[in-house]
Structure 1
Amino acid sequence: MSDLMAQITSWPWAWAWATLFAIVLLRAGATYGIGRAVAAGLLRRGEPGPRVRRAMDRVERWGPPVVTASFMTVGAQTVVNAAAGLSRMTFPRYLLGLLPGAAIWATIWSTIGAGVFLAATRAGNDRDEAVVLAVVTVVLVVAVGVVAYRTRRDRVVT
């Protein structure tokens, strides 16, 4: 992946964006297709786990906006796309969420994401930059963890 990102960051922005857009369309579409295949009984299935069940409930309730929003998160895209397939969301309705979500994802990764990637790979050349990058990363991970823990705890209490 790092070789691909290094190569993509040297391309003109439009080409990088279009490549990332195509990649996410294929990846998310394949995940949705696997979910549909499982729902149709073409693939062996077990009972969905709690995370997938929650995603299915959200997809069934809110539809395409949940698919779009999943592309602005880390770690939810695969679960939500599979849940869209498992809940048998129609493909045209799924596309209403997939296309803007893929565009948002490609924009994030071809701008901010590429910048962070380049900073991380170049930080190895300068020890001070590497330390600052590591500290910022740890602080962000801890902050996200604290917010997630408090949100979960508050949901359980109420």
Structure 2
Amino acid sequence: MKLDHYTLRTRKPEETVRFYTEYLGLKEGWRPPFNFPGHWLYIGDVPTVHIITITDDEKALRDYVGERKDGPGSGSIDHIAFRCVGLAEYQDRLAGFGLKFRERVVPALEQHQLFIVDPNGVHIELVFNAAESTGIKGDEMPQSKMKAEANAAE
């Protein structure tokens, strides 16, 4: 039906909260009173990004979620994508913070894609309608074969 949430385990909770709130515009909100530290970040009224703080004593966390390997990434996950509006504002916001980002327009999908990496090495894709695109302001990414094929068909 829809993505409910994803959870990040991190030893960089402050950097991670800052990344998602300041750079992407999520809002920190209510979180149940778990016996381990963390944060919930919201898109509107949906707690979409759950952050669990990795500490040296994780007994309460292990009791609740089970044993996990400490380290970045989740194996097969390549990236997480958010559908967005306000492309120019995001480009300017990220550039204003001095964040490097990559982007491309994919005409066959009618999308302008913007890619950044969070403090934990998780790749984030921001997807905008291509009608919002007025050009690339970050590092331009190679176009997919779809663009070459679309141009050849014209």
TM-score (normalised: structure 1):
0.23
The structure that is strand-richer by fraction is 2
Higher helix share: 1
TM-score with structure 2 setting the length? 0.24
Greater relative contact order (Cα 8 A, min sep 6): structure 1 or 2?
1
